Structure 1
Amino acid sequence: MAIYESEHTKFMREWMEKHPQEVVEQKEGRALWWDKPQDLETQRRNRDSKVPVKAYYYDINNH
């Protein structure tokens, strides 16, 4: 039984095989935007400082 593989997946697999240097750039980009060190104290302060949002922001009778 054959396993389906999309055209995009095939393209990306072949492209990454032809351009191995992109793996390093991909990891650097991920580290820049996503992989951030986690600080529990900062997370707690952010969670505690949230202000509840009103149901409908533009309702003049709900202030």
Structure 2
Amino acid sequence: MYQSEITQFLNQLKEQKPDLEEQQRKGRSLLWDKQPLDLDERERQQASRVKQTPYVYYQNF
């Protein structure tokens, strides 16, 4: 059965580092998995937000 060089490399890497996939999952969770949103807190944040004027560079007109 044919295996490309990349597939062979990945298989060797997984053999050398059996915990590689677990490390990848931990890294992904640090960057992408977020805590559930608290809707009351989000509503409070949006209500306290200062509205931006349509022409931010020309506020004196």
The structure with more radius of gyration: 2
**TM norm structure 1:** 0.48
**TM norm structure 2:** 0.49
| Structure with more contact order per residue of length (Cα contacts < 8 Å, sep ≥ 6) | 1
